[in-house]
Amino acid sequence: MGKEIQFVAGAKGGIVSGLLLKPGDAKALLVFAHGAGAGMRHRFMEDTSIQLSERGIASFRYQFPYMEKRSKRPDPEALLTDTVRAAVMTARKQAGDLPLFAGGKSMGGRMTSLAAAQGPLDGVRGLVYFGFPLHAMGKPSADRGGHLAEIQIPMLFLQGSRDGLADLKLLKPVCKKLGANGELYVIEGGDHSFHMLKSAKRSDEEALCDVAEKAAAWMIDRI
């Protein structure tokens, strides 16, 4: 779902695809990167974009070069961050006067944060992480969060309480050190993709609605 747009992902990335979903009542636009194992058409990306659209947030989903080539191995970090910047530039041309935000699912969010730590993303007012991967599965560490202090714009961390890639005991101090630039919103019972246990009092769909509602409200508050 959305208008397909192609763009060049940096000097070495070649041409990649993006999908623009822009409701008529859009108040802001999110440049939305996918996770490591699935591209922009993954159900999570699609469902989240629709939920945001229903709340007045346009989105520009896009492919990293390796995913465009249907490879399972992510590109080098420099190419991933170059793609983030290229996607932001492309989204700006489509946004009109809409305020821009950026972020992504898991790896996509982390690569957006690394790009922002290297230098401001043109026109981006804040970053939204849908499951920030603070560490590898089963290897708790806060090392992947060290660069976040270099980012000078607000950040929203949307995390499941059962996220195996972000131990909350480690993530909470990271967010606290960011001061006013870091906000953590926990989905109780959710995993890395906000899936709920069968014993939970709410469904996956309800959890995703919660995620989208918080993300949309947070962005609108910063316009």
How much of the chain, in percent, has pLDDT values that exceed 90? 95
Q: Decide if pLDDT at 47 tops 80.
A: yes
The residue with tokens 């709410």 is 202
pLDDT in tens, 77-111: 999 999 999 999 999 999 999 999 999 999 999 99
Confidence of residue 187 (pLDDT cuts 50, 70, 90): very high
Q: Decide if pLDDT at 1 tops 80.
A: no
Q: How far is 53 from 56, CA to CA, in rounded Å?
A: 5
Backbone angles phi, psi at 77, to 5 degrees: -55, -40
What is the DSSP annotation of 63-122?
--HHHHTT-SSPPPHHHHHHHHHHHHHHHHHHHTT--EEEEEETHHHHHHHHHHHHS--T
How much of the chain, in percent, has pLDDT values that exceed 70? 100
pLDDT in tens, 110-148: 999 999 999 999 999 999 999 999 999 999 999 999 999
Confidence of residue 201 (pLDDT cuts 50, 70, 90): confident
Domains and CATH numbers, the chain: 3-221 (3.40.50.1820)
Q: How far is 65 from 78, CA to CA, in rounded Å?
A: 12
Whole-Å CA distances, 186 to 15, 16, 100, 124, 169: 36, 33, 24, 24, 12
Residue 172 tokens, joined: 């909470």
